[in-house]
Amino acid sequence: MPNSKIINIPIVLKVLSFLLIVEGLFMLSGIGFAIYFGESIMPLLISSLITIFVGLPTYLLTKKNDKKNIGKRDGYLIVATTWVIISIFGTLPFLISGSISNYTDAFFETISGFTTTGATILNDIEVVPKNILYWRAMTHWIGGMGIIVLTVAILPFLGIGGLQLMIAEMPGITPDKLHPRITETAKRFWAIYVIFTVSEVLLLWIGEMNFFDSVCHSFATMATGGFSTKNDSIAGFMPYTQYIIVLFMFFAGTNFTLHYFALHRKFDKMISNQEFQIYFWIIVIVSIFIAIGLFLAEGLGAENSFRDSLFTVVSILTTTGFVTTDYSIWPSTLWMLIFALMFIGGSAGSTGGGVKIIRHLLLIKNSFLEMKRSIHPQAIIPVKYNGKSVSQQIIFNVMAFFLIYILVFSFGTITLSMLGYNFNTSIGATIAALGNIGPGIGDVGPVDNYSFFSPFAKWFLSFLMLLGRLELFTILIVISPAFWRR
């Protein structure tokens, strides 16, 4: 067993350098679009070469490291630093192409992509070269399932065990293992992820979208990211396209373990899953309620009201952030429901962000059981989920997560308010960044962007995106003094 009190620097550098090489290769995948659209291949090519040749020497130097196992500290440090490192190098295509002129904006756009937040500083998306928009969408797709999970799937090639990386990537509530070997679990997740992505590309392509738009929007949908190639997001597309995107947003916000069961015709495990049931019924009930409200208050047609309602509810609940309508101009009761959904999030084990439905479920169950425990103080009454008792440690983890989440949200809102932004904008930007949603309320509503924020505010929001993507604990653990003590 490795000494968990000592950080294994060679292994950390080995994994980080390999990830840079992988990132550089992903950049090269956009050159085909540059050639097809008659654009310069140099921004992606130069960015790729820089990224690969920074990672390659370090990887070669650490390749023969004999220590195979990754300790907890190593895992947390790799995960936390990976998201920063890949975002630093991910800015290169934007900067070299001139699509974004300053580094703060480029970093904000990149980390928004990798964390699948979808918040943008671009005022005119459609003038950006197509190959750069492809890279922008690719940052979503990589970050959606998690570049660390990707690495776990190929860590046998590196000669490193990946369990600690999976723990750090998915702290707290994690999906059930599909296979005794964690690498096999990661491979199964990625296989499902690719199958869904290819399926959506084909379904969008046979509609009104061209192949390029189909790829970019599929990357953003399955990652629950929300970057679009159009200034008006999904609003300009026909109903067929919007319904297809709704379907795959729903899939992306579902626990991928349940997809695995469904593909193996074990539908009973999906249908009986309590988190999935709540996820489904939240969408149904809230969508119908808002649709009725839009039909009565706005005078929209029945189908249009239902489609706008369903799309917005699924987009916000799954933290995708695609937009078909400006929900900020809806009657206050309706847009406040949308704002409430921002604090829920998708399912555990999905590509969605936010608090996650299972945490809400366990917290509510524990709260009701506390009343029973008060009446029967000697009784042992465990919280049950899907018919199984949940350990007290997990309940404590959930309660701690909620407390920290609210504290970070409050701190973020106060910080932005102190910087001079109005209250609605401060709470909207904070929850949109922390929940990896993208659009919020106030001046960061569904038809706005984040370009007006000061450089400090953009760096602060970038930090909140990172906190939210790694579910708070990973980053907070790494920046705590205790982490660095032997």
Confidence band, pLDDT 50/70/90 cuts, at residue 179: low
User: 167 or 321, which is more confident?
Assistant: 321
12 band by pLDDT with thresholds 50, 70 and 90: confident
Smallest CA-to-CA distance from 259 within 193, 357, 206, 203 is with 193
What confidence score (pLDDT) does residue 264 get? Answer: 87
Residue 421 placed within a domain? no
If phi > 0 it is left, if psi is from -120 to 50 it is alpha, else beta; for residue 346 that is beta
Across the chain, mean pLDDT equals 89
- pLDDT classification of 202: cutoffs 50, 70, 90: very high
Q: Tell whether 108 is covered by a domain.
A: yes
Radius of gyration of the chain (CA): 22
Is residue 409 within 8 A of residue 320, CB to CB? The reply is no
Domain enclosing residue 245, as ranges = 9-252
- Token code pair at residue 131: 């190959």
How confident is the model over 189-194, as a mean pLDDT? 91
pLDDT recorded at residue 152: 60
The answer as to whether 476 is a domain residue is no
Tell me, yes or no, whether 84 lies in a domain. yes
Give me the pLDDT at residue 257, please: 87
Percent of the chain scoring above 70 in pLDDT: 90
What's residue 452's pLDDT? Answer: 96
pLDDT value at residue 390: 83
Q: What is the mean pLDDT of residues 117-128?
A: 96
Q: Would you state the pLDDT for residue 11?
A: 85
What is the C-alpha to C-alpha distance for residues 374 and 378, in angstroms, rounded to an integer? 9
Residue 156: what pLDDT? 55
pLDDT, one tens digit per residue, over 103-120 is: 999 999 999 999 999 999
Q: CA separation (Å) from 21 to 77, 94, 111, 160, 428?
A: 19, 19, 18, 17, 36
pTM: 0.92
- Exposed, middle or buried: residue 109 (CB in 10 Å: 0-12, 13-18, 19+)? buried
Give the separation between CA 195 and CA 134, rounded to whole angstroms: 19
pLDDT classification of 146: cutoffs 50, 70, 90: confident
Instruction: With respect to residue 52, please indicate whether it lies within any of the assigned structural domains.
Output: yes
pLDDT for res 36: 96
More confident residue, 425 or 185: 425
Beta-bridge mates of residue 388: 385
Pick the range with the lowest mean pLDDT from 55-59, 144-148, 168-172, 475-479: 168-172
φ, ψ of residue 412 in degrees (nearest 5)? -65, -45
* Structural domain includes residue 220: yes
Residue 123 maps to a domain:
yes
How many domains are there within the chain? 1
pLDDT, position 419 = 96
What stretch of H or E contains 476? helix 473-479
In sequence order, which ranges of 342-391 are alpha helices (DSSP H)? 357-375
pLDDT for residue 480 is more than 80: yes
pLDDT at site 371 = 80
2: confidence class by pLDDT, cuts 50, 70, 90: very low
Residue 351 lies in a domain: no
